[in-house]
Amino acid sequence: MTEYYPAETIVEHYVKGKPFDSVVDYPRYWHGYLVILKPLLIFMEYKEIRILNGILQIALTILICVLLFKKGYKLAVVPYLLSYMMLMPAAMAKCFQFSTCFYIFNFRCLALLLSDNNEKRKRQAQVIFLYCGIMTAFFDYLTYPVSTFGIPMLFYLLLSAYDPAGSKLRDTIKNGLLWCIGYAGMWVSKWILAGIITKENIIEDGLNAVRERTSNISPYGSETYSIYGCEILNYKTFFKTPVTILVIFVIGYFIFKCIKINKKTKEYTVKLLFPFFLIGIVPAVWYVFALNHSTVHYWFTNKACIVSIMGIMLGLVCLIQSNRSEENPSQKG
């Protein structure tokens, strides 16, 4: 049944009785999600796992909101919740493919929030971002992987808002490199191990896939993809949610608030917002790199845009709380 997609294959077999007459290899992925999914399927039905998935996601979201509130970043709860809503929680609860990156970046954010002080957080961040990359390559099915760097990094910038601009920029670059090392290193290690075990050239298979997915040619060579078209397709798809109008309103309100109360110099404002802008454009850069993949699979790669929308809102939140702290040093948000 090679003419069918995986989901169609299952339907054809179990509903219409067609036999499985072929095997498709996918050796370049770790398929780490199966480590969790297979044991769950022993004890639970698929629909029950979906319910559990939704409950865990809501619980994790609430926990992060509580920690933000307790740490004094009350205003940051709004961007976080709105970004979560734009990921379409109902779809994420039902689709495990959408859930892996969500869990990875939220657990990493949780680790940052639980750090006792700024120095300890800086030391832990290096390990956190390295393992973020490793875990993403292991568990994720190439859905919206850059979110596992972008969202924790935005939290890191929020928690380090009063650090010098140069220090934040250095940390952003260093943590980004560590994430890339973890991500790429974990990918390549699978190709090497799979090649040793199967005696097949998995490295060549992986490199061919990279060349295809980073090209501007469609899978069958019938058309050429444009960077502009890919960017528009992903961002437009991401913004088709029931809460988009509310998000735009909140951003507008934050901008109004910044203009009204901002007592900082233009130089200070630019230096504070620039790291958030830098992280916010990460999805756009990823779409340029993985042009073929991001165009073909826009229906899930669009979720990386959460980094952009949260970057805008958290940057504005930092500017607001920076002005508030000038009026009241004990007030963060």
Q: What is the per-residue pLDDT across 286-324, written as a single tens digit (0 to 9) for each?
A: 999 999 999 999 999 999 999 999 999 999 999 998 876
Beta bridge partners of 224: 217
Residue of 262, 304, 245, 248 lying closest to 279 (CA atoms): 304
Place of tokens 């972008």: 150
The residues spanned by each domain of the chain are 24-327
CB atoms within 10 A of CB 26: 9
pLDDT at 9: 79
Span of 138-152, 155-169, 228-242 with lowest mean pLDDT: 155-169
CB atoms within 10 A of CB 36: 14
Q: What is the pLDDT of residues 23-71, one digit of tens each?
A: 777 778 898 999 999 999 999 998 999 999 999 999 999 999 999 999 9
Q: What is the pLDDT of residues 168-216, one digit of tens each?
A: 999 999 999 999 999 999 999 999 998 998 888 888 988 988 999 999 9
pTM of the shown model: 0.90
SS3 for 301-329 is HHHHHHHHHHHHHHHHHHHHHHHHHHHCC
For the chain, strand residue ranges (E) read none
Query: Rounded distance, CA 324 to CA 333, Å?
Result: 8
CA distances from 32 to 23, 58, 187 (A): 20, 23, 12
Query: Rounded distance, CA 19 to CA 13, Å?
Result: 6
The answer to whether 159 and 121 are in contact (CB under 8 A) is: yes
Confidence of residue 333 (pLDDT cuts 50, 70, 90): very low
